[in-house]
Chains A and B, each alone.
Chain A
């Protein structure tokens, strides 16, 4: 079964708007939560990652919010730009586990 559930499947936002992608997990042993950005025909690239000892991490226009009690984390893209149009994947792993559990992906389209 899918260990990380991601929503929505797709979203459209106007330039300058906020894109929000949500992920939920069940395994409380997960302790590392990366987000990847993938452009069509390219490999996913690490965007930002968080560990459960912090509730928020910001890098430029990208912010991860983490709610340990709810077992949820989300990606906010502030001031969305057309160049942010891509598919975003959340993922999770647990200490010393070599495998990542990926969400199904969210395709973000930013309209100019």
Chain B
């Protein structure tokens, strides 16, 4: 059963703590992405990775970090430096050939208090 999994679905943290969101895909896609979505807002790109061991900052990378040690996995760490971390986080992946759609995971809702 191919797809993108994100865990956990809901995550609660205290302010000042780092937290890591998981994203795994078994679609054999090279490219993976992290987006942030705030209530009633569109999608803002945090980081993306085209291949293993390589990643680029998106539009709102400050306060976030990523790693891409395996093709299947692209974890996102929300650091204590992120001023407004409470949001809905979406992971996506894309097949390598030319233009085409990104496929999204189910999302993780992070609440920091």
Binding site for B on A (CB under 8 A): 31-32, 34, 36, 41-46, 49, 89, 93-100, 102-105, 107
Measured CA separation A36–B104 after assembly (Å): 10
B72 to chain A minimum Cβ distance, whole angstroms, is: 18
A42 near B99 with CB under 8 A, answer no
In the complex, per-residue mask of B76-98: 1 if CB is within 8 Å of any chain A CB, else 0: 00000000000010101010001
Say yes or no for B109: interface residue by CB 8 A criterion.
yes
A102 near B42 with CB under 8 A, answer yes
Q: Chain A interface: which of B14-22, B43-51, B63-71?
A: B43-51
Partner of B42, one of A32, A42, A43, A105: A105
A-B contact count (CB 8 A): 50
- Interface of B: prevailing SS: strand
B43 near A32 with CB under 8 A, answer no
Pairs A-B, 9 closest by C-beta atoms: A43-B104, A32-B99, A104-B42, A46-B101, A102-B43, A43-B107, A44-B104, A105-B42, A43-B106
Say yes or no for B28: interface residue by CB 8 A criterion.
no
Residues of chain A within 8 A (CB-CB) of B92 are 43
B106 to chain A minimum Cβ distance, whole angstroms, is: 5
Residues of chain A within 8 A (CB-CB) of B99 are 31-32, 93-97
User: From B97, which residue of chain A is reached at the shortest CB distance?
Assistant: A96
